[in-house]
Amino acid sequence: MSRRIALVAHPDRPDVLGSARLVTEQFEHCGIEVDARESNDSANGAELILVIGGDGTILRAAELGRVARVPILGINYGHMGFLSEADPDDLPEVVGQIRDKQWTVDSRMTIDVEVTRPDGSIERGWALNEASVEKDEHARMIEVSIGVDGRELSNFQVDTVVFSTATGSTAYNFSAGGPIVWPDVEALVLTPIAAHALFTRPLVVGPNSTLELHVQSENARIWCDGRRLINAPAGSTIRAIKGAHPVLLARLGQTPFSGRLVQKFRLPVKGWRVPGTAVS
């Protein structure tokens, strides 16, 4: 049976497009078909989705891989590249590892969002990183009531409330002062941004809990991974739960998440472990 991978590349960068052409030639030389259509069914039957770009391009690829259950492997041409697995200089090695099927797969929890509007209409969405409930362009702030598992916790005015997964805890949630959550922890994080209240600390709940938010005044909008928009006018109820479909990320190395944090955030470490010593 012939092998096939799907290719998703940033469309506006010449260096990315050049790398995409190069890896396509290398894969075809190995007898591996490359599908760069980015249609809804392009991931069906593929063994891998190779992403050449930044985290935004990976989030675009997640829309293809989530339902098809195909793992995504990212080559970082962006700024942070927290979801990526390799850098541009690693491309030849990456091609060889894919050729030899030398990758493992992480299953990442997603978040499902349901918005019930005052007129009774319901709209649903999902996110790998976060769903951010924001004031719309005409509002100064939104007044919201938040709750967990059907019990109201607090009411306040706020600019934005972020519902985040563990994977997204290093993205918008982190910028807003929320906690970093290890990616193998199935949790939902609620982080208010610029809230006018005493109780505005982030909340971390388990995978069986439901986060709830009532938009009490002004109109809100919800951005799922910054890509998919849901309008939530005043009077809407927003519920967030563990997603029904995870996203699969392919991994090439064994670097622990702590090492990724140090590398991506360039954290100042002094090497508190002596090389060669055992961990007690």
So where are the chain's domains?
A: 3-108+246-265, 111-242
**CATH number for the domain whose boundaries are 111-242:** 2.60.200.30
| pTM: predicted TM-score of the whole model, two decimal places | 0.91
Strands (E) across 86-172 are located at: 104-108, 111-116, 122-127, 130-135, 142-148, 151-158, 160-165
Whole-number Å distance between alpha carbons of 62 and 66? 6
Q: Which segment of 85-99, 156-170, 207-221, 263-277 scores lowest on mean pLDDT?
A: 263-277
Mean per-residue pLDDT, 220-243: 97
Q: How far is C-alpha 143 from the geometric centre of its chain's CA atoms?
A: 27
Q: Hunting for tokens 């090439």 — which residue is that?
A: 252
175 φ/ψ angles, rounded to the nearest 5 degrees: -60, -30
Mean pLDDT of 189-200: 88
Q: How many residues does the chain have?
A: 280
Q: What pLDDT does 198 receive? A: 74
Strand partners, 112: 126, 241
Answer CATH for 3-108+246-265 from 3.30.70.3270, 3.40.50.720, 3.50.50.60, 3.40.50.10330: 3.40.50.10330
Do residues 31 and 71 lie in contact, with contact meaning Cβ atoms separated by under 8 Å? no
β-bridge mates for residue 3, sequence order: 32
Q: Which two tokens stand for residue 23?
A: 């890896």
Task: Indicate if 111-242 has the same CATH topology as 3-108+246-265.
Answer: no
H helix runs in the chain, sequence order? 14-29, 55-68, 91-99, 172-175, 257-265
- CB neighbour list of residue 210: distance below 8 Å, 6 or more residues apart: 148, 149, 150, 239, 240, 241
Question: What angle, 0 to 180 degrees and rounded to 10, lies between the N-to-C axes of helices 91-99 and 14-29?
Answer: 30
Q: Write the pLDDT tens digit of every residue in 31-84.
A: 999 999 888 888 999 999 999 999 999 999 999 999 999 999 999 998 888 899
Of 89, 79, 76, 63, nearest in space to 6 by CA: 63
Q: Which pLDDT belongs to residue 101?
A: 95
Residues contacting 12, CB < 8 A, separation 6+: none
pLDDT bracket for residue 280 (50, 70, 90): very low
Write out the catalytic residue numbers: 55
Q: Which structure tokens are listed for 251?
A: 């991994």
- The residues that bridge with 115 in the sheet, in sequence order, are 123, 238
Q: CA-to-CA distance for 18 and 41, rounded, in angstroms? A: 25
Distance of CA 93 to the CA centre of its chain: 25
